[in-house]
Amino acid sequence: MSLLESQKRVLSGMRPTGQLHLGHYHGVLKSWIRLQHEYECMFFVADWHALTTHYEEPEIIEDNVWSMVIDWLAAGVNPGSASLFIQSRIPEHAELHLLLSMITPVGWLERVPSYKDQQARLNERDLSTYGFLGYPVLQSADILIYKAGHVPVGADQVPHVEMTREVARRFNHIFGRDSGFEKLAEEAIKKLGRKNVKMYRALRKEFLEKGNQDSLEKARAMLQEQQNISLGDRDRLFGFLEGGGKVILPEPQALLTDASVMPGLDGGKMSKSYGNHISLREEPDSVEKKIRTMTTDPARVRRHDPGDPKKCPVFKLHEIYSKDGTRDWITEGCVSADIGCIDCKKPLIEAILTEQQPMRERAKQYEENPELVKSIVAEGCEKARGIAKATLEDVRQAMGLTYR
């Protein structure tokens, strides 16, 4: 697989620290499901990342690993198009994490916003550990080991992807210049054939001198089509195009998912830690009870008191779940006190149950057959491991670690 093809690869992970809820569905999972049709997708259980915060309660992680995979499958992640795997089953992540840690300045880690935030927010946990400080380096290793081009994440994770880009750039800068890089690149150019040699040089010049992105794209496409140069030469020529050394670890891009918009039962952001969530596969009775007991606009003390949907958490959920017509009916009925809150909640309950119905159904076959889930993950692990091993070979070579 060439660099350009791997740039079409999507990678994302989730920490198995609790049950997934509708916030995960409307944020990250729906985008995974969309992406799986367009890209080669790899989704993994970030159990080591969970350990960085939950090292004193590893049983929580164990409980949630398999149920999270079932949640993914229930939501519609298709194991035929996406590979599902578990981080700790691919030890190469750990080796790359170690190697990247050699070149990652401590200052970068201390400046990542989630570092101080989480320490303050989770103050019942001691997070002054080496592992927690290194969280973004581990995440960089997760991404770079698959040379992923796109990383779908919520806004809170964007700084981690940014740092991954910086780590990759630094790595390529330090280790992508094997001695005589320029000479090797020049030799590789000559293998392109006369017409393409000219074209490569001209496009490279256009890009380096004028920053012409089009030329860069054209030159890349031309390299992509070359049948008779080695992968090493091709990567060298990709790197040389941009002036630098060989691109060993390509920089990924964050694909922002709108995880932040999903309101919880109290109108705040849905989160398990706020206890305002509905689980992905929650029992219908429990869903109904949660909606029925939701607080509404406090002005509606009695049935005939008018209310204002803008002040009501129920209406925020209607904004996700209901069509314009239903919302107009609610707004009119609420401000005129023509409808009661029970009437207003009924279509919401219906809509949520309807959304969950196929998920509960899909989950059933997996709940009844844990071996099936394990075999899906085993297959994903095998695929992931193959890619991870190949990248690590490149990395070891670049770092001069191939003596045996």
Give me the residues that bind ligand TRP (CB under 6 A), please: 11-15, 46, 49, 139, 142-143, 151, 153, 157
Shortest Å, Cβ 1 to ligand TRP: 19
Beta strand segments in 97-186, E: 150-153
Quick one: how far is CA 353 from the chain centroid? Answer: 27
Can you spell out the DSSP letters for 196-252? HHHHHHHHHHHHHHH--HHHHHHHHHHHHH-SSS-HHHHHHHHHHHTTSS--SSPPP
Distance, CA of 125 to chain centre: 25
Task: Tell me whether residue 192 or residue 341 sits nearer to ligand SF4 (CB atom).
Answer: 341
Residue whose CB is less far from ligand TRP, 93 or 318: 93
Partner interacting with residue 85 (select from ligand TRP, ligand SF4, none; CB below 5-8 Å by kind): none
Query: In the complex, what is the shortest distance from the CB of residue 15 to ligand TRP, in angstroms, rounded to a whole number?
Result: 5
Residue 71 or 297: which CB sits closer to ligand SF4? 297
Shortest Cβ 49–ligand TRP spacing (Å) = 5
- Minimal distance, residue 145 CB to ligand TRP, in Å: 10
**Nearest distance from C-beta of residue 309 to ligand SF4, angstroms:** 4
Q: How far is the CB of 60 from ligand TRP (least distance, A)?
A: 15
Of residues 70 and 341, the one with the C-beta less far from ligand SF4: 341
Considering beta carbons, is residue 48 or 321 the nearer one to ligand SF4? 321
Picked from ligand TRP, ligand SF4, none, the partner binding residue 240 (CB below 5 to 8 A depending on kind) is none
C-alpha distances in angstroms, 140 versus 11, 88, 122, 143?
11, 15, 23, 5
Q: Are 20 and 29 in contact (CB under 8 A)?
A: yes
143 binds, among ligand TRP, ligand SF4, none (CB under 5 to 8 A by kind): ligand TRP
The site partner of 315 among ligand SF4, ligand TRP, none (C-beta below 5 to 8 Å per kind) is ligand SF4
Residue type, 303: R
Residue 269 amino acid letter: K
What Cα–Cα distance (Å) separates residue 169 from each residue in 3, 250, 268? 15, 8, 38
Q: Minimum CB separation from ligand TRP for residue 176, in Å? A: 23
The residue among 15 and 345 lying less far from ligand TRP, judged by its C-beta, is 15
- Interface contacts to ligand SF4, rule CB under 6 A: 296-297, 300, 307, 309, 312, 314-315, 330, 334, 339, 341, 344
The item of ligand SF4, ligand TRP, none sharing an interface with residue 153, based on CB under 5 to 8 Å by kind, is ligand TRP
Residue placing its CB nearer to ligand SF4 in the complex, 16 or 309? 309
Q: Taking the complex as a whole, how short is the minimal distance between the CB of residue 84 and ligand SF4, in angstroms?
A: 39
- Torsion, CA 369, CA 370, CA 373, CA 377, rounded to 10: -150
- List CB contacts of 258: < 8 A, sequence separation 6 or more: 27
202: how many CB neighbours lie within 10 A of its CB?
13
Among residues 334, 351, 332, the alpha carbon closest in space to that of 342 is found at: 334
DSSP H/E element including 289: helix 284-292
Q: What does 314 interact with, of ligand TRP, ligand SF4, none (CB < 5 to 8 A by kind)?
A: ligand SF4
Yes or no: say if 160 and 137 are a contact pair by the CB < 8 Å rule.
no
307 binds, among ligand SF4, ligand TRP, none (CB under 5 to 8 A by kind): ligand SF4
Phi, psi of 74 (to 5 degrees): -65, -40
Nearer to ligand TRP, 291 or 395 (CB): 395
Residue 252's Cβ-count burial label (10 Å; 0-12, 13-18, 19+) is buried
Question: Closest CB to ligand SF4 among 68 and 317?
Answer: 317
**Where does 67-165 show beta strands of DSSP type E?**
82-86, 150-153
Closest contact distance (angstroms) between CB of 234 and ligand TRP is 26
